Structure 1
Amino acid sequence: MSFEIFKQQFGEVTEYIIQDSVTGNRCVILPELGGIVRQLSLRKGLTLFSVLKTPPTPQTLKDDSKSASELLFPFASRIPEGKYKFLGQEYQLAKNESGTTNAIHGLVRKQKFNLEEQLVNADHASLKLSFSLKDLEGYPFDVKFSVMYQLFADGRFVLTYEAVNNGIEPCPVMFGWHPYFYLGNEDVEAWKINIPSDQIVTFDDNMIPTGTEPFAYDQPMLLHRKELDNCFIIKSTANTAVTELISDNKHVTLKVEQEIGEGKFNYLVLYTPPARDCVAIEPLTANVNGFNNGEGLNILASANSISGTITVSLS
């Protein structure tokens, strides 16, 4: 078999590597640090591109406050003042966004995940991780959250999440992934982007949604001198939607495909950091502040589950 899974030390934590020895495609996963993907390398022709930007050392990764590659659950983005109301009851989350009074990006960041399964097959290999949430501050529910990472021989990297309500009461759930992507040594100014949307979410000064407005840029859109920190409502006639990050100079396109439809990834956040060296492409299952506005929010009854898939590839 060309696929293998092996582990090695990364500072004080253990990382797992899924690798295809034929293509060189590989992903590096850290179960003990929020279950994140630390590296993702995919081949296009003769070039093996490292496409995920994350802090380079164990300590900078632990200290990272920008959520590089993090799994955002049971909510993503901001909840103002950390307050939300669910089924008539008010809840208070920790206010953990730097410089604000917001709660941000969920409760599983940097937590130690359990390794549930690792499989090696002829055409792909996979790793499944899980984390159980039970009676946490501001989220007194019993939910098992899991993520499966798969790397295929055709170059697809697939992330599939699942949430199962193990409690006796309904619970609100939202999931998002927060990867920063880049293409070689170019910066944002050199790229174009295809955004599968014609509606953008409007924000107030606290980055909380106030409504929507048309998004009418021609696609693909040049990123030169454009700053993005926006949420988009996905538009597609299929059951998936694709965001494309395009480098004409390197003749490569990075594709982030998100499953859409009822309960799936119907929102997308795009962000260009000040360094202009990467783009955050963040599929979300609900709108920013979904715990309060209910837009896209999944409500799980006891013993019910929800899942969804994100696929990354190069062309």
Structure 2
Amino acid sequence: MQDSRTGRQLTLRHGAHEAVVVELGAALRSYTAGGRAVIDGFAAQDPVTGGRGQILVPWPNRIRDGRYVWEGRELQLPLTEPAAGNAIHGLLRWVPWRVAEEGADRAVLDVELRPQPGYPFHLGVRAEYALGGHGLEVAVTARNLGPDPAPYGFGQHPYVMAGTASVDEAVLTLPARTRLVTDGRGLPVAAEPVAGTEYDLRAPRAVGALRLDTPFGDLERDADGRAVVRLAHPSGALGTDVWLGPGADWVQLYTGDTLPPGERRRAVAVEPMTCPPDAFRSGTGLVGLAPGAHHTVRWGITPWGR
């Protein structure tokens, strides 16, 4: 299917699972399981709003003033969040990716990120989506095609649902020991333990009136090395897990309170990230990608119950 806004629509199916990936930004447009909406996506004919399903490369989240220093060189990115004076969510959200492979339950898209003002580095980026009996797995690989080391970070922006009309009713579990306190520009100013605060979600808890646009770190992982964020229906009968593989050491949760009125608090954006906001300036979690080197991160969505 061809759509003038988001390009080709790649439909993946496996049993009762169906996901759609689009050419524009290699974004995850929709995911259903047994007819239930697993993510709050967007229609084929609609523009992408709120970063829904988008891949955030070569940095997730925000960079203060769009300005950073890399290997002694001062660099200035375009301010793509002008009201807050930030560069936000990377450089590949609004470019078409090439469909490299397309199968019944798997799709691979790739793109070259050419040197440009503020990011004079050359990357090749590949996104693989695979749908199976345990849900959707995503692998994103960046390779440095240029002659110089490049700063790099990854994130992605799915809005997760668990069969409730609003997130207030949903039950959230987040295995994070630390959160970053942010200022009015969404930039971190301090780190603090979640213990004893309303941000301690290590035990299941209804979202209620909690407003989140919050980075979390120090994630607890299972025996497979995965950190699992769970959004469940209050009945406990169904829910959606987002797992973060090794290297995805940070996660941003966003309850959508600043979205347009009809879109607010319908879902929780669970954003796997390799680094926190402003990592190009702080260096926290930032990957220095050497010439010829590559970096891969894996994450996925597992719907469960009926």
> Who is 1:4 aligned against?
none
* Structure (1/2) with the larger strand percentage: 1
Provide closer, same or farther for how the CA distance between residues 57 and 311 of structure 1 changes in structure 2, counting only shifts above 3 A: closer
Identity across matched positions, percent:
26
| Match in the other structure for 1:191 | 170
Matching residue of 2:31: 40
Q: Does 1:15 align with 2:9?
A: yes
Q: Is the 8 A contact 1:42 1:313 kept in 2?
A: no
What residue is the counterpart of 1:210 in the other structure?
189
**1:59-208 pair list within 5 angstroms:** 59-61=46-48, 64=49, 66-120=50-104, 125-152=105-132, 154-208=133-187
**1:237: Cα distance to partner?**
4.6
Secondary structure, counterpart of 1:17 in structure 2: strand
Following TM superposition, by how much is the alpha carbon of 1:49 offset from its aligned partner in structure 2, in angstroms? Answer: 1.4
Inter-partner Cα distance in structure 2 for 1:16 and 1:236: 34
Kept in 1: contact 2:171–2:206 (CA 8 A): yes
Deviation at residue 235 of structure 1 after TM alignment? 2.1
State the 1:222 CA deviation.
1.7
Contact 1:234 1:268 in 2 (8 A): no
Taking the aligned partners of 1:170 and 1:78, their CA distance within structure 2 comes to 21
**Equivalent residue in structure 1 for 2:277, among 288, 304, 307:** 288
The yes-or-no answer on 1:251 pairing with 2:237 is yes
Amino acid at match of 2:136: F
- Deviation digits for residues 130-173 of structure 1, max 9, x if unmatched? 11011122111010011000001x13200100000011110011
Whether 2:229 is the aligned partner of 1:229: answer no
- Measure the CA separation in 2 of the matches of 1:128 and 1:59: 23
Gaps of 5+ in 1: 1-7
Equivalent position SS for 1:136: coil
**Aligned residues of 2:178 and 2:194 also touching (Cα < 8 A):** yes
Distance 1:195 1:210 in 2: 22
Is the CA contact 2:163–2:233 (under 8 Å) kept in the aligned structure 1?
Answer: no
1:313 aligns with 2:305: no
- Out of 268, 277, 285, the position equivalent to 2:266 is 277
Contact 2:30 2:42 in 1 (8 A): no
> What is the SS of the residue equivalent to 1:242?
strand
SS in structure 1 of the partner of residue 20 of structure 2: strand
Question: Residues 276 and 237 from structure 1, CA distance in 2 versus in 1: closer, same or farther, beyond 3 angstroms?
Answer: closer
Give the whole-Å Cα distance in 2 for the aligned partners of 1:314 and 1:39: 13
Cα distance in structure 2, aligned partners of 1:256 and 1:38: 16
What is the CA–CA distance in structure 1 between the aligned matches of 2:177 and 2:46, rounded to whole Å?
Answer: 40
Q: Deviations over 1:212-250 (max 9, x none)?
A: 101122511220111111000032254110000011236
Deviating 4+ runs (over 6 angstroms)? none
SS at match of 2:65: helix
- How many equivalent pairs are there? 290
Cα contact 1:15–1:29 (8 A) shared by 2: yes
Q: Return the alpha-carbon distance in structure 1 between the equivalents of residues 88 and 212 of structure 2.
A: 19
Q: Deviations over 1:174-219 (max 9, x none)?
A: 0000111123352111111111111111112322112210112251
C-alpha separation in 2, matches of 1:19 and 1:237 = 29
Return the offset for 1:98. 4.7
- Note the residue ranges of structure 2 that are not aligned, 5 or more in a row: 258-263
Q: Provide the C-alpha distance between the structure 2 equivalents of 1:215 and 1:109, rounded to a whole number of angstroms.
A: 32
